[in-house]
Amino acid sequence: MRIAVCVKHVPEGPTRIDPSTKRLDRSGEGALNHFDANAVEEALRLKGDSDTEVVAVSLGPQKALDSLRKALAMGADRAVLVSDDAAAGSDLVATSRLLAAALERQEADLVLFGQQAADADGAVLWAAVAERLARPVISQAMELSVDGGSVRVKRQTEFGYDTIEAPLPAVVAVSDAINEPRYPSLKGIMGAKKKPQDVLSLADLGVDAGAAGEAGSRTTVLALGDPPARADARKIEDDGNAAQAIVDFLAEKRLV
């Protein structure tokens, strides 16, 4: 069996929008999306001692290899990065197209995602990729098992739990409560350097540049603006009488 895990390289620390490109600023340090670490861990648990292959797949700049190497250090067998200048600025539509093309090459029996990305919190990419691959998709997996030609999932909902079974190949987005991701060992970190790490261009995927990046996107950011200032605000300096000043203010507004 082959399991592909889609992971994302996300900015570390506070995020900001670059006013010149109207995109998330990714120029600083980045790290493996912590929601995706749960997906990597679950793939490794499913693998166990079997001959199952775990492949980490990502889309991003060259430095996204750092996050893929962490997945390799955790225990993934190889990594695939789709990296091309023409892919910069891809929205959900273009991103799902590129990831689906990369995943088709892997011919994985099971594709795992984390529940969302920490830099966007969209939680819809896994559904878009599943649609393009024409595979069944299950989200919010709290428990996951594979038996023969099917996957069985205990899915968390706001009303309780559903147990869903789907035929392979399938796509599953795991909840961050499904497991506790392992820390890479020193042996794993050193071994990751020797594992296959393929970097693919759009040409390698057979995808035209016009179907990626801003050209292949279906959403456009027209403008950015600061949030409106709070109206009728009053700043109170604490000189020992702050409590009384707050009470007086609330009384003035007829709130007490």
- Tokens (6 digits) for 15: 């995020």
Q: 């009053």: which residue's tokens?
A: 234
pLDDT tens for 34-91 read 999 999 999 999 999 999 999 999 999 999 999 999 999 999 999 999 999 999 989 9
Q: 């670059």: which residue's tokens?
A: 18
What are the Cα distances from residue 194, in Å, to 157, 184, 190, 203, 243? 41, 15, 8, 26, 63
pLDDT tens for 131-189 read 999 999 999 999 999 998 999 999 988 888 999 999 999 999 999 999 999 999 999 99
Whole-prediction pTM value? 0.85
Mind listing the domains of the chain with CATH numbers? 2-211 (3.40.50.620)
* CA dist., res. 147 & res. 150, Å (int): 6
Cβ atoms of residues 139 and 105 within 8 Å = no
Measured in whole angstroms, the distance separating CA 144 from the mean position of its chain's CA atoms is 19
pLDDT tens for 178-192 read 999 999 999 999 999
Determine the pLDDT at residue 233.
74
Query: 3-state DSSP helix/strand/coil percent for the chain, to nearest 5?
Result: 30, 25, 45
* CA dist., res. 172 & res. 63, Å (int): 26
Q: Which whole number is the average pLDDT over 115-133?
A: 92
Q: Strand (E) positions, the chain?
A: 2-6, 9-11, 17-18, 23-24, 30-32, 53-59, 78-82, 110-114, 137-147, 150-157, 160-167, 170-174, 197-200
Cβ atoms of residues 8 and 122 within 8 Å = no
**Kind of pairing, strands 110-114 and 2-6?**
parallel
pLDDT band (50, 70, 90) for residue 22: confident
Q: DSSP 3-state assignment of 152?
A: strand
pLDDT tens for 201-255 read 999 999 999 999 999 999 988 888 877 877 767 788 888 888 888 888 888 888 8
Non-local CB neighbours of 133 within 8 Å, separated by 6+ positions: 100, 103, 104, 111, 169, 171
Angle at 100 between CA 98 and CA 105, to 5 degrees: 100
Determine the pLDDT at residue 157.
87
Please state which of the ranges 18-22, 43-47, 117-121, 179-183 shows the lowest mean pLDDT: 18-22
